[in-house]
Structure 1
Amino acid sequence: MRKAALVCLLSCLLTSQTRAQTDSTRSVRGRVTNSRGQPLAGAIVAVFNSSKGTPTDQDGFYLLSNVPNEATLVFMNFGYQLLVQSVPNQANVLNQQVLNVSLEIAPEELPPMGATAAYKAINKNTSHMAGLYELPAQTGAAMDRKAYFPTGTVGMIQYVAHHLRYPAQAKLAKVEGDVLVEFTVTPIGAIEGVKVSKSLFPACDQEALRVVRQMPRWVAAQQLGQLVSSVYVVPIRFALK
């Protein structure tokens, strides 16, 4: 009798634990399209501030499992504006939430704003940003697709222009030049392993690291049909004029 009661108690505890876990997470599925309703294949859908993410299939559909309640999703695709969308708390009886989104085409020109010396330098001469290069891969197989900033090179220039701040110490010392920052783009587009590969000035180095670490997720590289990690180096320029 006591054994049967113990088994019943354990069963209730396990059921309660499973239900609590299910109540705290859900599956999110949907479709990513452009403003014309056309599907976007290979778009990245990721849970903000986590390592969970997935690309859309050839018809633009995606499925994410065990997404925390109150989570925020990030949608990105080359040539389109980044979209950050909270997940509504309206799951169906199967504990699934449907979230369809439409991405807008990214503007090709730099925004007419910004008064920092860094912005003026980038706005005047963007060629140095084309110096972004990929470090050799660990394997000999060629990449099917290299990783890229979600809105392309222009989008990366815009991002740096908006976020880079010229350190006061560097201004006083009249320091100018480039900081080379190395980083890894993971298979889900997260930025990791950020470090300085060419130093300029301590305060400039730290500011360049901050800007790169806070970049949105990239679209990951693809090799032999699989999303893979890749390592890149980007120059961050500091110019007073």
Structure 2
Amino acid sequence: MGNHNNYPNPRENPYRLQAQPKEKNVPIDQQTTRIDFNANRICPSCGKIISLKHNFCKFCGVDLSGLRPMQDADRTMRELAKTALTDPNADVRKDAVDTLGDFGEYEVLGVLAYILLNDPDENVRKEAADELGDLHHIISLDILAKALKDRSPIVRKEAIEGLKKIKKKNKPEKREKPHELTAEKREEVEDKKESELVKEQQTEAENLIPADEAQKEPDSEEENEEEEEAERFEEIEREDDDYYRI
């Protein structure tokens, strides 16, 4: 689970304020100095060292095939990672962790996870939790959850902030519910429904007109013209008859 010195006795109250020892030049764990990025990688989910050949973590079972190991990083990043892991001065390690996070590359997730669980200095662990939260990768949720049991309250607090950042960043987009629509959007929706209703009514009205009636309309106009012509002819004949009678 990491450096046991970073975690309190489960029988004691972990939230009880106690004087924290100065940890500026605490010796680094010997296992940390033996990490070889050409042969090993660090699982970003549990912080354990595994073989570079493994695509699945043998400790937590997480699929790592989609994440590039530190071996694939450039030389500058690898040197910074070694400094963050092995430098005897806590301030130097903290600055190295900060710089690794600023790169924004997922290759550093495993290194940050290992530092979060194993570094003897609380400020370095806090910085690692901060950078994991800023990278927003969902695979870091488990390691930050483990850090909630850290002996240091500042580390626990930063782990909470990191979890919040990742959850917020990876939260699916919320669809607007009808009652949450703005007045402008509601008006647009109503106008669209009204226009569609008018079109439907027009279509229904056109379908109700029989085809034979639609064809009769031009014929009826011709018949009216013929009737008017006949009436004018009859009127002319009547005028002629009246003339001859005179």
Fold conserved between structures, TM > 0.5: no
Larger Rg: 2
User: Scaled by the length of structure 1, what TM-score is found?
Assistant: 0.23
User: Scaled by the length of structure 2, what TM-score is found?
Assistant: 0.23
Structure with greater contact order relative to length (CA < 8 Å, sep ≥ 6):
1
| Between structures 1 and 2, the one with greater strand share | 1
| Between structures 1 and 2, the one with greater helix share | 2
